[in-house]
Amino acid sequence: MSEHQQIMKEVPQPVPKGRLRRAQSSRSLWADGLRRLRRHKLAMVCSAVIVLYFLLAGSIHLAELCGWRVGPMLWAEQVGQSYEPPSSTNLLGTDIFGQSVLRKTLYGAKISITVVLCASLVSIAIGVPLGAVAGYFRGFVDEIIVWIYSTLSSIPYILLILAFAVVLRDKSLLGYKLTGITAVYLAIGLTSWVGICRLIRGEVIKHKDREYVLAAMSYGCSRRRIIFKHLLPNVFHLVIIDFSLRFVAFIHAEVILSFLGLGEADRPSWGAMINDARIELSRGVWWQMVAATAAIFLLSLALNIFGDALRDSLDPKLTNDQNKYE
């Protein structure tokens, strides 16, 4: 019995009549998961929030490309005196140079989300193939890879990121100069692939002896085909779940790096805003801190809830509450 069928057996079948036929017809793991996810109201609200954030970041990128001068793009404009508290004209007050904190916060979404996406891609690109190869081949290859990631994970995470960010700063890679923000997402990506690598390795080891892999082997498929065509698609939902949960950690890493002065120097980011606020708080200027943390809080919360729901619906065996989705 394939794993999929096993899952289907464990999950209680839907009761409503209209959907009976659809339920009985075979659904892919993904369609099944999405169907379950769609019933989770809170998760859908969260996904809307996430989409909004992404749209915001995307439109800022677009506006920058096209040179539009609207909304958050005008963050550098002086809209009032320095350190004006929130009022009806400046909803979230102003910073040291009289810039609108609201605009800075919106603009900050671009930096954070870009960093997170790029860093995730880097870490997935490293972690997933390494994990799959280690899990499939075992033996010497496995030992080397495990040794590498064990070593890497034994170094405190923040120190490692800092070291990478410092080393990568102002270096050039393939003729492209790594400025502040590029160095940041490379640093985060290069240091954070251990978790996903471990996860995929474990899962591949588990799947290796399953019937569908044995079947592929008996057909004489090449190893590459088995790993990338058969094994990876069956464990890839883990990558998505991991990504959605790790998203928050990446945002925090960006914030911490900016806070330590290694991030974006000239343009606003949430980390830089919090860093500024550290000094300003003692003079009673709380609005920059509140604006940046609220932005991070909302996105983190949405991502966490959505990530949990996604995990539960894609991997129902893991759920804490079996009856939650049916």
Partner 1 sequence: MLVSMLAIEARNSFFLASSLQLPASIRVSRTTNVLLHFHFSSLRQMNFALKFATLEISRRAIRLAKKKGRFLTGLISVVFTTSLLIVAGCDGSASVEEPNEMVLRHVLYTRIKGLDPGNMRDVYSVIVGSQIFESLYQYHFLKRPYELVPLLAEDMPQISEDLLTYTIRIKKGVYFQDDRCFTGGKGRELKAEDFVFSLKRVADIKYLSQNWSIFDNKIVGLDEFREYTKNCSSAEDVDYSRQVEGLTAPDDYTLVIKLKKPPQDGQAHWPQLCTALADISTAPVAKEAVDYYGKDIISHPVGTGPFKLNVWRRGSYIELVRNPAFRGELYPSEGEDGDAEAGYLDDAGKPIPFADRVLWTIINERQPAWLLFLQGKVDATVIPKDSFDEVMTGTGELTPEMKQRNIRLKTFRDPSTYWVGFNMADDVLSRNKPLRRAISYAIDREKFIELFFNNRHLVAHGLIPPVMPSYNPGIKEKGYTRYDPEKAKELLKEAEKIHGGTLPRLKIAMPGTDTWYRQFGQFLKRNLDTVGLEVEMQYMDRPTYQERVNTKSAQMFSSGTSASIPDAQDFLSMFYSKYQTPGRNKFNYSNPDFDRLYEKAQVLPDSGERRRLYQRMELIALEDCPAALLNHRVAYVLHHDWYKNYKQHAFAYGLSKYRRIDMAKRTAYKN
Question: Which residues touch 262 (CB under 8 Å, ≥6 apart)?
Answer: 162, 165, 166, 169, 180, 183, 184
Write out the two tokens for 2: 């394939």
Smaller CB distance to partner 1: residue 77 or 211? 77
Q: What distance in Å separates the CA atoms of residue 214 and residue 228, rounded to the nearest whole number?
A: 15
Write out the two tokens for 239: 């990558």
Write out the two tokens for 252: 């925090």
Beta carbons of 213 and 230 less than 8 angstroms apart:
yes
CB of 108 to partner 1, least distance (A): 15
Q: Which residues in this chain contact partner 1 in the complex, by CB under 8 A? A: 76, 82, 96-97, 261-262, 265-266, 272, 275-276, 278-279, 282-284
Smaller CB distance to partner 1: residue 59 or 269? 269
Beta carbons of 216 and 226 less than 8 angstroms apart:
yes
Smaller CB distance to partner 1: residue 28 or 179? 179
Question: Which residues touch 163 (CB under 8 Å, ≥6 apart)?
Answer: none
Nearest Cα to 188, choosing from 111, 287, 100, 280? 111
DSSP code, position 229:
I
CB of 97 to partner 1, least distance (A): 6
Smaller CB distance to partner 1: residue 227 or 256? 256
CB of 262 to partner 1, least distance (A): 7
Smaller CB distance to partner 1: residue 276 or 308? 276
Question: Which residues touch 50 (CB under 8 Å, ≥6 apart)?
Answer: 299, 302, 303, 306
Smaller CB distance to partner 1: residue 278 or 317? 278
Residue 293 burial (CB < 10 Å; 0-12/13-18/19+)? middle
CB of 258 to partner 1, least distance (A): 10
CB of 157 to partner 1, least distance (A): 16
82 phi and psi, to 5 degrees?
-75, 140
CB of 283 to partner 1, least distance (A): 4
Smaller CB distance to partner 1: residue 105 or 313? 105
CB of 291 to partner 1, least distance (A): 17
